[in-house]
């Protein structure tokens, strides 16, 4: 059955971003119904939303139409698997925080038990007002509400500051996660350390030994863990895509394996789970040249030296309450090398993924893997998006003895 989502649109210039969200959801197979507040219709027309949703958009006048056999706000509230409110204005925020329901949107919110994703957007000065912050904190005490943003940047009023609505791509990622978790924060109270991306070992300021890791898998794990309530620290090498502006993850950017080792070892003692999804190099040039070498001076034979094994070092330091999970990117037989790595490095589990299969491994939006625990029991994860795989991996880790 397709997902059923009610999108509420508030009155703000950021309403135009919601069109992209609705379009993407419908294309993915979700059924979307939308509600526009009176102020929202000053920025975007019901015809636009109707066209994107493939069904009529609702406005306050719809609340009183006699052809409904049951009150419309009750029908919509019970129908929805998830409600999304974007942009959330200061006015609607105040209503929701105090339980007021004077239009179709706020009535529907109160008539539903589904999780609600809210994305505020307003002028920086408005956002920073103590009364707005009080309403915001009060609303977040309700576990039904999941917040994304606001971000900082250029606002429609030509000022720069906090108040920008989350970008459509970030909203879609969170929406997809909420549809999986049903709004549960099952990792609340966990501190999770995650590494992502590849490392680079420089020969000179320009040339380096590296690998094609994009960091997408590690970033997906970090986002999903955060969505599910965990406290997350992400240590990452160079990434193929920018970090999201919302949520603002706790991150440490590194380049070399030495920098990654220092950052991971510093954070490791505080972590309940550590997931090493980064593609850390195995060797580096034996000599580093601080100035760019002329082409004619490049060595024909490049002396190499091994890089310390971060994962094995973590395995030696692991405490009984900690869980340590590795990744193994392999070609050919992925099981036997992963099991060997799991045992040698004293891991609780390992995720073995093929990098010689189409739409799998480095640089793709999808992945597939076999999750192997310390007993050697394998669980296959069929090809899916890296976000979906992240949910499955975290659920399997949570189920470890």
Q: Which of 237-251, 265-279, 330-344 has the lowest mean pLDDT?
A: 237-251
Q: C-alpha angle 116/120/126, rounded to 5°?
A: 145
pLDDT at 223: 96
Q: What is the mean pLDDT of the chain?
A: 93
Question: CATH class for domain 4-181?
Answer: alpha beta
d(CA 182, CA 223): 16
CA gap 148, 129 in Å, rounded: 19
Contacts of 326 (CB under 8 A, 6+ apart): 276, 311, 341, 342, 345, 347, 349, 350, 351
Kind and range of the H or E run holding 264: helix 257-267
What confidence tier does 1 reach under pLDDT thresholds 50, 70, 90?
Answer: low
pLDDT band at 363 (very low <50, low <70, confident <90, very high): confident
Residue 246 to residue 144: CA distance in whole angstroms: 19
User: Which residues are within 8 A (CB) of 288 and not within 5 positions of it... i.e. 6 or more apart?
Assistant: 202, 203, 204
pLDDT at 68: 64
pLDDT of residue 67: 61
Residue 155 has pLDDT above 70, yes or no: yes
Q: What is the DSSP string of 187-231?
A: TTT-EEEEEESB--EESSSS-EE-----SHHHHHHHHHHHHTT-E
User: Hey, which bits of 64-150 come out as E strands?
Assistant: 82-88, 116-120, 145-147
- Domain spans of the chain? 4-181, 191-398
- At residue 158, the pLDDT reads 76
Sign of CA dihedral 391, 392, 397, 398: positive
The residue with tokens 């309530």 is 229
CB atoms within 10 A of CB 140: 13
Active-site residue list: 157
pLDDT, residue 242, reads: 86
Mean pLDDT over 117-121 rounds to: 96
**Whole-angstrom distance, CA of residue 9 vs CA of residue 84:** 8
Q: Rounded to whole angstroms, how far apart are CA atoms 232 and 222? A: 6
Structural contact between residues 327 and 362, judged by C-beta atoms closer than 8 angstroms:
no
In this prediction, residues 155-176 reach a mean pLDDT of: 88
Q: Which residues, including other chains, have CB under 8 Å from residue 44's CB and lie 6 or more apart?
A: 9, 15, 16, 18, 19, 36
Confidence band for 357, pLDDT divided at 50, 70 and 90: confident
User: Mean pLDDT, to the nearest integer, of 12-22?
Assistant: 95
Query: Which pLDDT tens digit goes with each residue over 34-47?
Result: 999 999 999 999 99
Look at the block and give the residue holding tokens 């917040």.
147
CB 39 within 8 A of CB 65: no
Report yes or no: 386 and 216 within 8 Å, Cβ to Cβ: yes
- The pLDDT of 169-180, averaged and rounded, is 95
Superfamily of domain 191-398: CoaB-like (3.40.50.10300)
Contacts of 320 (CB under 8 A, 6+ apart): none
Q: What is the distance between the alpha carbons of residues 262 and 199, in angstroms, rounded to a whole number? A: 13
Span 147-155, average pLDDT: 84
Long-range contacts at 396-399 (CB < 8 A, ≥ 24 apart): 396/349, 396/371, 397/273, 397/275, 397/323, 397/325, 397/348, 397/349, 398/186, 398/187
Token couple for 137: 């904190």
> How many Å apart are CA 162 and CA 182, to the nearest integer?
29
Query: What integer is the mean pLDDT of 117-139?
Result: 95
pLDDT (tens digit, 9 = 90+) per residue, 45-103?
A: 999 999 999 999 999 988 877 666 788 999 999 999 999 999 999 999 999 999 999 99
Confidence of residue 362 (pLDDT cuts 50, 70, 90): confident
User: Quick check: do 4-181 and 191-398 share a fold?
Assistant: yes
Note whether 212 and 239 are within 8 A (CB): no
The mean-pLDDT minimum among 68-77, 128-137, 391-400 falls in: 68-77
**At 235, is the secondary structure helix, strand, or coil?**
strand
- Tell me the CA distances in angstroms from 344 to 316, 329, 348, 352, one per residue in order: 10, 16, 11, 15
Give me the pLDDT at residue 62, please: 84
């Amino acid at each position: 059955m397709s997902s059923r989502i009610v999108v509420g649109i508030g009155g703000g210039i950021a309403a135009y971003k919601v069109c992209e969200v609705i379009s993407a959801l419908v294309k993915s197979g979700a059924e979307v119904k939308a509600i526009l507040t009176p102020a929202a219709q000053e920025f975007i027309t019901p015809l636009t939303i109707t066209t994107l949703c493939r069904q009529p958009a609702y406005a306050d006048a719809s609340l009183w139409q006699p052809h409904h056999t049951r009150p419309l706000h009750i029908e919509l509230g019970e129908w929805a698997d998830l409600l999304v409110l974007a942009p959330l204005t200061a006015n609607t925020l105040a209503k929701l925080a105090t339980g007021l329901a004077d239009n179709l949107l706020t009535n529907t919110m109160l008539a539903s038990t589904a999780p609600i994703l809210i994305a505020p957007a307003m002028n920086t000065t408005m956002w920073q007002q103590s009364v707005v912050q009080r309403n915001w904190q009060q609303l977040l005490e309700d576990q039904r509400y999941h917040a994304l943003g606001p971000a900082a940047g250029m606002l429609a009023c030509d000022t720069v500051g906090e108040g920008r609505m989350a970008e459509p791509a970030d909203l879609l990622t969170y929406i997809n996660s909420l549809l999986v978790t049903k709004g549960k924060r099952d990792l609340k109270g966990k501190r999770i350390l995650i590494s992502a991306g590849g490392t680079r070992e420089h020969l000179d300021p320009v040339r380096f030994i590296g690998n094609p890791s994009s960091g997408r898998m590690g970033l997906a794990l970090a986002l999903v863990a955060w969505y599910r309530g965990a406290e997350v620290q992400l240590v990452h090498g160079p990434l193929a895509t920018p970090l999201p502006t919302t949520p603002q993850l706790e991150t440490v950017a590194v380049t070399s394996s030495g920098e990654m080792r220092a950052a991971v070892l510093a954070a490791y003692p505080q972590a309940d789970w550590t997931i090493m999804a980064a593609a850390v190099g195995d060797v580096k040039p034996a000599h580093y040249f601080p100035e760019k070498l002329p082409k004619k001076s490049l060595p024909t034979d490049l002396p190499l030296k091994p890089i310390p094994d971060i994962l094995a070092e973590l395995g030696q330091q692991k405490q009984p309450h900690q869980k340590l999970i590795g990744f193994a990117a392999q070609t050919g037989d992925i099981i036997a090398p992963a099991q060997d790595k799991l045992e040698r490095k004293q891991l609780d589990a390992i995720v073995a993924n093929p990098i010689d299969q189409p739409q799998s491994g480095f640089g793709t939006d999808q992945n597939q893997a076999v999750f192997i625990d310390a007993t050697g029991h394998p669980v296959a994860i069929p090809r899916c998006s890296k976000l979906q795989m992240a949910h499955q991996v975290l659920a399997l880790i949570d189920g470890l003895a």
